[in-house]
Amino acid sequence: MLNTQPLIATLPARIRVLVVDDSVVMRKILSDALSEDAEIEVVGTASNGALGLQRVMQLSPDVVTLDIEMPEMDGIATLREIKRQFPRTRVLMCSTLTERGAGISLEAIALGADDYVAKSFRPGEAANDFRNQLVPKIKQFFRHPRSGGSAPYTRDPVHPGFDRSVSRPVAVRKQTVRPKAVAIGVSTGGPNALAEVIPALPPDFPLPVFVVQHMPPMFTRLLAERLQAQSKLEVVEARDGMVVAPGCVYIAPGDFHMCVVRRGTRVILQTNQDAMENSCRPAVDVLFRSVGQVYGGATISVILTGMGQDGLRGVEFLHGQGAYVIAQDEPSSVVWGMPGFVVRAGYADSVCDLKAVAPEIIRHL
């Protein structure tokens, strides 16, 4: 019988991190950036994947930062072995901000990596860039101690054998308006979550689907291409001025907010580089507000796995107009941040397992 109970382990007062990278300079930069945080301990480093596996066995880190391109054993091969032998160890991939790096990062996410960061090569800024990116992404997987830094961290629930068939939608309110659009917000764990939801929508799906996935430029285009190859609907990276069509999925481009506006009888996509919201661009709140202004309560709003609370204010706005709100449940989320905030605020009309999200959308057509 599968064990569906949360696997919550008590950790030391600091989160233990292993750094695996073939560049001695990058190992130094990463280690120094992480060590500056009092709640993180760099327990070791390794110069390739084979040594990294040995270090994981010896040191039992909570998190491994893993370079993608390494001699002897590359990041993808190492990731496969870590997830096979140590499934509860969190893995963050470190890739270059190139098309090749983005493509391999998405492949790594599909193979079980928990998140990724893009390496910075800005002179004198690499340490700050890593600190700003990597530290929050490491901490998102753990519950913060309640009493300063002395109490131990606890690991957020991980369910390697979770039987998702036991989870059912929990509906608390009926939608009274025929929906005209679907708006989805997602972050950490998003590529796999979207790969579960979007391909499950039927070829005659009659509504436009707007998606904000927190990702840098280039990653969003490759994500759209991957989803297009798996789906019955057309999936595109949004461009400014696009006319919205039913049955099309629009992915917000990296580093651009995406909005919808009405022009006569047509709905048009707009992209902009206005100020970040919730430290994000694209931001879910920006999209959801615009969707509420155009479609009002005739919207199905979906919040999937992700760090932080981007989308909460947008959901609040949509919920107040009568939109139907679906939130992914905690057991099937990589990080129950974004959906958790929505559920705790009382805005979720349905809280369901990831596999039940597409059927729940379809049920409300």
Which residues have a catalytic role annotated?
A: 187, 214, 310
Give burial (CB, 10 Å; 0-12/13-18/19+) of 96: middle
Other Cβ atoms within 10 Å of 364 Cβ, number: 17
Other Cβ atoms within 10 Å of 88 Cβ, number: 11
Amino acid at 121: F
Residue 335: both structure tokens together? 């990080």
3-state helix, strand, coil in the chain (%, to 5): 35, 25, 40
CA distance 136 to 250: 28
Residue 294: strand, helix, or coil: helix
CA distance 210 to 252: 8
CA distance 278 to 266: 30
CB crowding 259-273: b at 16 or more within 10 Å, else e: bbeeeeeebbbebee
Residue 309: both structure tokens together? 């609370």
Give burial (CB, 10 Å; 0-12/13-18/19+) of 34: buried
Per the CB < 8 A criterion, the answer to whether 204 and 219 are in contact is no
Per the CB < 8 A criterion, the answer to whether 270 and 286 are in contact is no
What's the longest Cα–Cα distance across the chain?
65
